[in-house]
Amino acid sequence: MAENATASTQELERAALDSLAAAKSESQLEEWRVAYLGRRGELSTRLRSVGSLPPEDRREAGASLNRLKISLTAAFDQAVSDTSKSERQTVPSDAFDITLPGRRGNLGGLHPSEMMMREILGVFNDMGFQTVEGPIVELEIYNFDMLNIPADHPARDLQDTLWVDRSSKDKILLRTQTSPMQIRTMEKQKPPVRIVSPGLCFRHEATDATHEWQFHQIEGLAVDEGITMSDLKGTLYEFARRIFGTQRKIRFRCDYFPFVEPGVDVSVDWNGRWVEIMGAGMVHPKVLEGVGYDSSKYTGFAFGMGPERIAMLKYDIEDIRHFFSNDLRFLSQF
């Protein structure tokens, strides 16, 4: 019985190797693999039937089938490697024209908001401001209360808020401004402070050519002994000169923000009309006291600007909604 099994294993080997030698393409090889080495192939079927042989024959039959499996697997791997080599070699030598110019890959590029932010941050970094980043999902206390905007303050209406969780004790929102980073920085750091903080902000806005519901801001804060309004104006004029050149008209006007006193808004001339690019002012003593700074010793200025608005003025983009509409005809111009 054992001799019969050995003879039939040898026959199987011969048949398998003959048919492997006849397989010339990858698809024929795959057919061969399924027929001989597959789960329902010849070898597996025979291995499964070893259990039905007389006990004295099982060991030898099982061992010789396993040896065959190893040698057929090796023969198959070799055949696959030979076939792919010869298939590669059969590509006609004139199939490629190596003198043709290559096709450029699509590398993508920086988003115009990101480009503008990097340029603005670079200007402030040169003036000694350090870049810091903070959370987009923010606590109400940082976005409003510690900026001297308590609940029910009418100034909250100017920044219609998208809430994440209003039921928790520490209410959570999508930040409406980057100003919370003033508080987070001052809580951690003693004066002197000079930071700029970029990032996304969200407001429940009725959108138009200069308002989006999602936009970026860059916050700035400088606190030290002896900082005055003229430092604020000097810094922001220098910023405007570096971004827009010396010929562009800039306007400072009184404005109200609860966390500054006095407050200003800064506008830039755009084809004969003023477009507001930022709010700014001298940090309110209450804000300084709230983070434990001595407001009789330290003063500071702060500002919050919109990089998309600045890019609109710099590159003559007529509608802010282009920035987030993901239209490549717009994005690929930068």
- Per-residue binding string, ligand YSA, 173-212, x by CB under 6 A, is ----x-x-----------------------x-x-----xx
- Cα distance between residue 86 and residue 25, in whole Å: 10
Q: Which is nearer to ligand YSA, 263 or 290 (CB)?
A: 263
Could you tell me the smallest distance in angstroms from the CB atom of residue 320 to ligand YSA?
6
Q: Are 253 and 265 in contact (CB under 8 A)?
A: yes
| Site size with ligand YSA, rule: CB under 6 A | 26
- Least distance from C-beta 306 to ligand YSA, angstroms? 2
Which residue, 167, 183, 169, 168, is CA-closest to 135? 183
- The distance of closest approach from Cβ of residue 267 to ligand YSA in the complex, given in angstroms and rounded to an integer, is 8
Residue in 14, 123, 144, 114 with CA at minimum distance from that of residue 72: 14
Q: Which is nearer to ligand YSA, 3 or 157 (CB)?
A: 157
Among residues 165 and 208, whose Cβ is nearest to ligand YSA? 208
Rounded Cα distance between 136 and 199, Å, is: 7
Which lies closer to ligand YSA via its Cβ, residue 16 or residue 288?
288
> Do the Cβ atoms of 200 and 307 come closer than 8 Å?
no
| Minimal distance, residue 323 CB to ligand YSA, in Å | 9
- Angle in degrees, CA 293, 287, 190, rounded to 5: 30
First to last CA, the chain: 81
Whole-angstrom CA distances from 299 to 65, 74, 150, 183, 195 are: 88, 80, 22, 14, 15
- Residues written for the chain: 334
Residue 147 CB, shortest distance to ligand YSA, in Å, is 8
Q: If DSSP codes are grouped into helix, strand and coil, which group holds residue 304?
A: strand
One character per residue 242-261, x = contact with ligand YSA (rule: CB under 6 A): ---------------x-xx-
119 binds ligand YSA (CB under 6 A): no
Considering the complex, state which of residue 68 and residue 282 has its C-beta at the smaller distance from ligand YSA: 282
Q: How far is the CB of 255 from ligand YSA (least distance, A)?
A: 8
Cβ proximity of 165 and 139 under 8 Å: no
b/e code 117-141 from CB counts within 10 Å (16+ = b):
beebbebbeebebeebebeeebbbe
Point out the residue whose Cβ comes nearest to ligand YSA: 306
Q: Which of residues 20-49 bind ligand YSA (CB under 6 A)?
A: none
Q: Cα Rg for the chain, rounded, in angstroms?
A: 37
For residues 273-312, which are near ligand YSA according to CB under 6 A? Answer: 276-281, 302-306, 308-309
* Pair of tokens at residue 274: 């003023």
Min CB(279)–ligand YSA separation in Å: 3
Closest CB to ligand YSA among residues 134, 281: 281
Binding site for ligand YSA (CB under 6 A): 177, 179, 203, 205, 211-212, 215, 217, 257, 259-260, 263, 276-281, 302-306, 308-309, 320
